[in-house]
Chain A
Amino acid sequence: MRMNEHPDHAGPAIVVEGLVNSFGDFAVHDGLDLTVKRGEILGVVGGSGTGKSVLMRSIIGLQRPQEGRIEVLGADLSDQDPNGETGIRSRWGVLFQGGALFSTLTVGENVEVPIKQFYPDLDPALRAEIARYKVILSGLPQSAVAKYPSELSGGMKKRAGLARALALDPELLFLDEPTAGLDPIGAAKFDRLTRELKETLGLTVFLITHDLDTLYEICDRVAVIAEKKIIAVGTIPELIATGHPWIEEYFGGPRGRSAHDAHLRGEA
């Protein structure tokens, strides 16, 4: 997002090493490693219950891992106070599955919340203006700015959630199933918006998805979670070349093939 290079802008955006997460006797992650490069859109796929969301929650500090090292934008988060990471928290934005908007605030006021939290001295008029343009930048109409979340459709809630995630001009964006529950047209639009924002703002995007079209259209690389680890990371052809049975089934099934065909038609 920012023009010039800070010293810490050089390294990878996210480094996860030897992550171990378990709930009781059930281990979700066992020695998981992952590196997200700066400026890429990384898609994370895996069967239901393989710990995609847990991985995201570990990275953003909502879930304390049993073991492992997590480094985000050059800062080591493994042994920091979960409530004290304000510096790093202002440099990422998170879009939760259902949008997770504050229901008693309007969409615009929702976007204001993080700005108020991190920059309380900012002039309220400017803050309101920033909130408004972020909402419109996220593809919502002007009329939606003063509406309450309960007055919005599911797709609009996701866009409003995206506006709040973008409130602080983050360098890193976490999206948890952004296109789930959207109609195909809305999903395609959301994909395009993600791509556009990534290109204009220079974002790094960590994207959890089940949507094969999203993977083909906008992801630079895809990481596959299975067997409590990341079993492969790479472009989709690279993944298929690994010959892992789960990956073959995932991309080689009827849905995978049709998404691939659609992608080829789109390029032609």
Chain B
Amino acid sequence: MQTATQYTLENLGEDAGTARLALSGHLTLAHIGPLEHDLRQIAGPIGTIDLKDVEEIDTVGAYVVCRIAREHDSDITGASPAAERLLAAVRGLDEGGDIRAPRSPVWERVPAALGEKIYGARRGVSGVVGFFGQILIGGASVLRHPRRFPVKALVHQMELVGVSALPIIGLMSFLIGIVIAQQGSVQLQQFGAESLTVNLVGRITLRELGVLMTAIMVAGRSGSAFAAQIGTMKLTEEIDAMRTIGISPIEVLVIPRILAATFMMLLLGFYASVMAIIGGAVVGDATLGIPFITFLLRIQEVVPTHDLWVGLIKAPVFGLIVALAGCYHGMQVEGNSEEIGRRTTMAVVSAIFAVIVIDAFFAVFFTEIGWG
């Protein structure tokens, strides 16, 4: 037998203060929602609240009763001993502030956010410079104590950054080679110069695209992983534990990752260029009537050696930037798990942005020194 959760309000006398609110049924979290909504609408003073017909009550019910009693300054009658205990437990807890974190109005928040960004940028610059300094100091100490250097970690990172990236980077570069050759040949055919497709593919992949696309891929694969791994270690106090034992996290975590990314980027960049040229050669063979081997031999003739050097010089620099961004943002993680996600995103975005900016500088520089 369940009684509906409801209330009746009766006025016993002319005096408004004697109104009696009788509650019945289940004053529990599962049933109180609609009742509480109705009770809020009652304007008039309530003299007594009668709990005689209440079948079931929990702290939520007791809390609501207490709040009404306080708002209307009314007495509570008919409560069972158990209800009495609950009422006593929650009495006086019905006043107080908000459960949300405090939030200031928009006109304060926007300038505050802007100011924080500017200060953040300044802190970021000094932080990056400081981080770079720490790495130099760490590098010097590695040179002084070469036996302490974690060779295993370095090899492991090389495998993660380089070897396991081979399939995806190979496929990506191969497809890019195909696209360049196919799209380029369509344009060059208008001048009857489709044989120049070889020059196009060879020069653009070795100089620019092979290395640039690889850097973007490594930033997404490994830069993000660096930030997330180091960030998690920071949250679980592993980094602090290392420091207390006297191990420098820069030496065991950051330097192996930076060396691995720098060195593997060099190899991956070259590998990507080779795969792109193979992709171009496949298109040449299939649609332009240039035999596969001829395409490769022509590359040797039409691409100047300094194009290869341009790519090989840029690749390790890009790798360094990607690894620095990943490790730096990982080390900046503080507080909660949301921060790891934010820092990982920042690591990838800032790495790709920096790579493209530096690439523009390189383009101007190499043209100026006559390697155009």
Q: Which residues of A contact B (CB under 8 A)?
A: 1-4, 103-104, 106-109, 111-112, 115, 118-119, 121-123, 126, 128-137, 142, 145-150, 168-169, 199-202
B336 pairs with A132, CB closer than 8 A: no
> Smallest distance from the beta carbon of B225 to chain A beta carbons, Å?
22
Report chain A residues within 8 Å CB of B96. 132, 136, 142, 145
Q: Add 16 more A-B contacts to A108-B100, A129-B94 (CB < 8 A).
A: A2-B58, A3-B55, A3-B80, A4-B56, A119-B30, A123-B37, A126-B32, A128-B98, A133-B94, A136-B93, A136-B96, A137-B93, A146-B100, A146-B101, A146-B102, A147-B101
B286 contacts partner chain A, Cβ-Cβ < 8 Å: no
B33 contacts partner chain A, Cβ-Cβ < 8 Å: yes
Tally of contact residues, B, Cβ under 8 A: 38
A200 pairs with B99, CB closer than 8 A: no
The interface stretch among B84-92, B197-205, B348-356 is: B84-92
Report chain B residues within 8 Å CB of A1. 58-59
B56 pairs with A133, CB closer than 8 A: no
A133 pairs with B63, CB closer than 8 A: yes
A133 pairs with B99, CB closer than 8 A: no
> Smallest distance from the beta carbon of A26 to chain B beta carbons, Å?
26
Interface residues of B in 296-346 (CB under 8 A from A): 335-338
Question: Which residue on A lies nearest to B341, using beta carbons?
Answer: A104
Report chain A residues within 8 Å CB of B359. none
Known: A3-B57, A130-B60, A130-B63. A103 touches B102 (CB 8 A): no
B29 pairs with A168, CB closer than 8 A: yes
Known: A3-B82, A112-B99, A122-B33. A200 touches B28 (CB 8 A): no
Report chain A residues within 8 Å CB of B32. 126
Say what secondary structure dominates the interface of chain A. helix
CA distance A132 to B90 in the complex (A): 11
Report chain B residues within 8 Å CB of A137. 59, 89-90, 93
B36 contacts partner chain A, Cβ-Cβ < 8 Å: yes
CA distance A169 to B89 in the complex (A): 13
> Smallest distance from the beta carbon of B357 to chain A beta carbons, Å?
33
B192 contacts partner chain A, Cβ-Cβ < 8 Å: no
> Smallest distance from the beta carbon of B135 to chain A beta carbons, Å?
28
Report chain B residues within 8 Å CB of A135. 99
B58 pairs with A169, CB closer than 8 A: yes
Report chain B residues within 8 Å CB of A201. 58-59, 86, 89
A146 pairs with B57, CB closer than 8 A: no
Report chain B residues within 8 Å CB of A148. 101, 336
Report chain A residues within 8 Å CB of B101. 106, 146-148
A146 pairs with B33, CB closer than 8 A: no
A132 pairs with B335, CB closer than 8 A: no
Residue of B28, B29, B100 most packed against chain A (CB within 10 A): B29
B105 contacts partner chain A, Cβ-Cβ < 8 Å: no
A126 pairs with B33, CB closer than 8 A: yes
CA distance A98 to B100 in the complex (A): 23
Pick 26 A–B contacts, CB within 8 A, sort by A.
A2-B28, A3-B82, A3-B83, A106-B100, A106-B101, A108-B99, A109-B99, A109-B100, A119-B30, A126-B64, A129-B67, A129-B94, A132-B93, A133-B59, A133-B63, A134-B59, A136-B93, A142-B97, A146-B97, A146-B99, A146-B100, A148-B336, A149-B336, A169-B58, A199-B85, A200-B85
Task: State which of A103, A121, A126, A128 has its C-beta within 8 Å of the C-beta of B337.
Answer: A103
Report chain B residues within 8 Å CB of A3. 54-57, 80, 82-83
> Smallest distance from the beta carbon of A125 to chain B beta carbons, Å?
9
A169 pairs with B56, CB closer than 8 A: no
A150 pairs with B336, CB closer than 8 A: yes
CA distance A155 to B258 in the complex (A): 40
Question: Which residue on A lies nearest to B89, using beta carbons?
Answer: A200
Interface residues of B in 12-57 (CB under 8 A from A): 28-30, 32-33, 36-37, 54-57
Known: A169-B58, A200-B89. A150 touches B97 (CB 8 A): no
Task: State which of A2, A146, A149 has its C-beta within 8 Å of the C-beta of B56.
Answer: A2
> Smallest distance from the beta carbon of A162 to chain B beta carbons, Å?
13
CA distance A103 to B29 in the complex (A): 26
> Smallest distance from the beta carbon of A48 to chain B beta carbons, Å?
20
> Smallest distance from the beta carbon of B343 to chain A beta carbons, Å?
14
What 4 A-B pairs have minimum CB-CB distances, sorted nearest first?
A: A108-B99, A103-B336, A169-B58, A133-B93
Question: Which residue on B lies nearest to A168, using beta carbons?
Answer: B29
B338 pairs with A133, CB closer than 8 A: no
